[in-house]
Amino acid sequence: MAIRGRPRGFNRDAALARAMEVFWAKGYEATQLADLVSAMGINPPSFYAAFGSKEKLFREAVDIYLTTVGSGTMKMLMETANAPEAIRAMLTASVGIALSNPGTGGCMVALGLVNCQLQNAELRAHMEALRQATVALIKRRLEHGVAAGDLPGAIDVDGLAMYFAMVIQGLSLQAQDGATRDDLLRIVSTAMAALEHARSV
């Protein structure tokens, strides 16, 4: 049997994409329902019927952020041949993302939920887990680089992975502070010295 009842008057995926942009631009807590429903072109009841709550919507928004906006960085990381080049490509992609933020600047995973209230601690933990996953991915790429001979076997892959994750987060904050593309790319080049140095040990 077909779907009963009045059909939904808006495109759920399109509305979700709009919501993602708003969350990305303003962060979870600074975004209010009024911003969301306005950007999505719907009213509160439609919102709650389709997405459940602000928090559930945010989780969905992060999901599509990762599979759309964010996927590029990880793709660069995993698919660029030489390990140092892969790291550089990832950071360069991060710069692009940080600057394409429709609002203040920065990566949604890095800055979407900083300094939250106790009531949102669980959501914050979710974001933190995503960031830890990034660290793990960088570490794996470095290990692969060592195995492939791109990097010396003596390097501290754990330390370097944390370092580059830190760089991604730092780039986001710099973007929020108004850094230009040229500024951020210069920072990336400087940051890459960590690997240049590791290679020459």
Partner DNA sequence: CCCAATCTGTAATTTCAATTACAAAAAGCA
Partner DNA sequence: TGCTTTTTGTAATTGAAATTACAGATTGGG
Q: Where do contacts with its own copies occur on this chain (CB under 8 A)?
A: 26-30, 104, 110-112, 114-117, 128, 131-132, 156, 158-160, 162-163, 165-167, 169-171, 173-174, 176-179, 183, 186-187, 189-191, 193-194, 196-198
Q: Quote the CA–CA distance of 169 and 175 in Å, as a whole number.
A: 10
- Least spacing, CB of residue 92 vs DNA, in Å: 35
Q: Assess contact for 22 and 36: CB atoms under 8 A.
A: yes
Partner in contact with 44, chosen from its own copies, DNA, none, beta carbon below 5 to 8 Å by kind = DNA
Q: If binding is defined by CB under 7 A, does position 54 make contact with DNA?
A: yes
List, in order, residues 6 or more apart from 142 with CB less than 8 Å away. 83, 87, 151, 155, 157, 160, 161
Quick one: 68 exposed, middle or buried, by C-beta within 10 A (0-12, 13-18, 19+)?
exposed
Closest among 65, 60, 29 to 47, alpha carbons compared:
60
Partner in contact with 43, chosen from DNA, its own copies, none, beta carbon below 5 to 8 Å by kind = DNA
Q: Which of 3, 129, 154, 193 binds DNA (CB under 7 A)?
A: 3
Q: Quote the CA–CA distance of 188 and 93 in Å, as a whole number.
A: 11
Comparison of 43 and 67: residue with beta carbon closer to DNA: 43
Q: If binding is defined by CB under 7 A, does position 18 make contact with DNA?
A: no
Residues that bind DNA (CB under 7 A): 1-10, 31-34, 42-50, 53-55, 117
